[in-house]
Structure 1
């Protein structure tokens, strides 16, 4: 079952943490999250799953920045979120998607117990100007059935910003 907007509000500060939280960003069954002003892009022409890939930081100015097609941009949410009781899920807003912007290529599924900022995998179909602070995506919450263990992976837990892929750590096991 997906929590309603009212249930999200009822759980804020208890089973759901969203900081900062603004009630005007609540939807009937989700909460809009904003885009931070930082982006990361990979420097390398060919990415390698078995090693860290170098990145460079871009700052989105108030007047916006134009994203180019065929380029992956990693962004992050302004909001920090955590929940030990629900499965957090991330989706793009339909208004953003209708402009040809995808905010997660594959990773919209969170784990119970995740604590941190959401790294966004931003890809666009056509050149588009984006702005810091835009409500770019939405988080919603599912109930969990049965017993479960909370997410505790050291790879992405308690992050402080945008995180490029740490898949190379899986090869070091």
Structure 2
């Protein structure tokens, strides 16, 4: 069983989503038909695209929620149906934080890093916008010696 985690931008433009899906599909294609398990915090954007690609390739996925209030505080109404559909298909672990904040996000990402064989980063290469952002998770993965595959296709943009 191969366990692959995801970190990535949540603010992808609508036109970028299919580019990222194609990039993820290409990066994970060699694992299609194997016991692929994706591990994600299921934030909108890269995490949810990753979850769908893993399912499309015949894999399963686990969700690590940063805090008990994540669904009610952080999932926007425009993304609630997709979040609920995907989380219903996953094994879920909730971190021991009452409130979603930067500390909880980084702790959830550290949990992901502790439970995977490799990481995929949907990342434009820029610095994190705050503690626990994509660049921080990439740095932490590299410090642990985890292989990181970066996906940011030509034409990809953030909102």
TM-score after normalising by structure 1:
0.24
TM-score after normalising by structure 2:
0.25
Q: Which has the larger radius of gyration?
A: 1
Larger fraction in helix? 2
